[in-house]
Amino acid sequence: MQSRRPKNVPAKVMTAIGLMSGTSMDGIDCALIRSDGENLVERAGFAEFAYEAAFRRRIEAALGEARSLDGADARNETLAALEAEITRRHGAAVAAFLAREGLSPDEIDLIGFHGQTVLHRPEAGFTVQLGDGAKLAEMTGIATVFDLRRNDMAHGGQGAPLVPVYHRALAQNLPHKVNPQFPVCFVNIGGISNITWVDAEGAMAAFDSGPGNALIDQWVEAKAGIAFDQGGAIASEGGIIAPIAERYLSAPYFNRNVPKSLDRADFAPLDPGEAELADGARTLAHVSAAAILKACDHLPEPPKLWIVCGGGRKNAAIMADLKTLAREKNGGAVIACDEAGFDGDAMEAEAWAYLAIRSRKGLPISFPATTGCSRPVSGGRLALPTSDLQPARKTIL
């Protein structure tokens, strides 16, 4: 149920920490914002806490374990142990972040806790994020909003993407130096890429556009034993292998109606024997860029400005292809979000803080045009620290 307030009464500003461990599985992002859950957003701090290679491999192994799960709450022994460790690490990250920012827990109203996605099956009506919100609230002493995707799926949505409502708030407050021409499209290139299209009136369209960094990361890990192609340096030495690119870009996913969402495992990794290291990296970078531009087929009109966020904005090959393809499409401009004054590494974690505030206020976090839900809905569960002497869990609808 959407909250209402009398006219001319300002919305309460809340302080929230957002925690994101995304599909790249490289660590925990912590961001601090102050917001009314609507158009006011003050970004106040950010830190990254990297996972060591061995723990990253443990999460990767869990992706296989999770394929047999049949519901959002199902856990086998391996996944239960991993969930406990992920929660512990998030609690430690919050403590370290607060110390770094010179803050105490009682200065924070909420934590928005994403957890680690190990399975996303919208066609079956569930998604699995490892992370115990009630335990995190106990560890940190801060009220924690978690499990933000479930209510959307209960109303027929894909459960993703949820970041668009935050993108809309940012789009409505772009700095003058950007000279935005609408429609604007925010692009987040993480392990998977997703887009948010916003017009001048605030109408939105959003969906997962295709593979982002995940295929590239898997390729260079298998071929060279390194975690990712820093800056696109490896790709810069290679050429595009057209048949491989076309194979990926002709996948049935691109013809599916929107809204739609992806699981990291929906696109198979490139076989190590199919290409040389640099050519494979260059080809997969092109696939990431071309998949984003293919999204125009499902939008009301092509964006005039693309604002690129996430780790993929640092890959020079992806960005070069995006600029070329957008210019050829309709003369659209492509910029990294840093050029608009945003922190592209922090944006997803900021969004989870923003969503926590909206959830706490009962404001919608997903919409028919972003996830395919039947109506705008809020969502999430609230876990309160035991010191608050209130029930540990409460459903927010």
Query: 103-138: per-residue pLDDT in tens?
Result: 999 999 999 999 999 999 998 999 999 999 999 999
What pLDDT digit, counting tens, does each position of 324-357 carry? 999 999 999 999 999 999 998 899 999 999 999 9
H or E, element range at 21? strand 14-21
H or E, element range at 184? strand 184-189
Which percentage of the chain shows pLDDT scores above 90?
82
Predicted local distance difference test score (pLDDT) of residue 35: 98
Mean pLDDT of 251-273: 90
Q: Which of 258-272, 295-309, 344-358 has the lowest mean pLDDT?
A: 258-272
Predicted local distance difference test score (pLDDT) of residue 312: 94
Mean pLDDT of 287-316: 95
**Runs of H (alpha helix) within the chain:** 53-66, 77-101, 133-140, 150-154, 164-171, 214-224, 242-249, 277-294, 316-330, 347-360
Q: Which amino acid is residue 164, in one-letter code? A: P
Residue 392: pLDDT over 50:
no
What pLDDT digit, counting tens, does each position of 40-92 carry? 999 999 999 999 999 999 999 999 999 989 888 889 999 999 999 999 999 99
3-state secondary structure of 203: coil
What lies within 8 Å, CB to CB, of 245 at 6+ separation is 283, 286, 287, 290
Which percentage of the chain shows pLDDT scores above 70?
95
Residue 4: pLDDT over 60:
no
Instruction: Please give the backbone phi and psi of residue 156, each rounded to the nearest 5 degrees, phi first.
Output: 85, 5
The architecture CATH gives domain 14-159+378-395? 2-Layer Sandwich (3.30)
Structure tokens given for 211:
């593979």
Q: Which of 9-13, 57-61, 230-234 has the lowest mean pLDDT?
A: 9-13
The pLDDT confidence band at residue 387, using thresholds 50, 70 and 90, is low
Radius of gyration of the chain (CA): 20
Predicted local distance difference test score (pLDDT) of residue 390: 46
The pLDDT confidence band at residue 249, using thresholds 50, 70 and 90, is very high
Residue 258: pLDDT over 60:
yes
* Location of each CATH 3.30.420.40 domain in the chain: 14-159+378-395, 176-340
Predicted local distance difference test score (pLDDT) of residue 287: 98
The pLDDT confidence band at residue 10, using thresholds 50, 70 and 90, is low
Structure pTM?
0.87
Mean pLDDT of 16-34: 93
- What superfamily would CATH give domain 176-340? ATPase, nucleotide binding domain (3.30.420.40)
Answer for the pair 52, 145: CB distance below 8 angstroms, yes or no: no
Q: Choose between 173 and 284: higher pLDDT.
A: 284
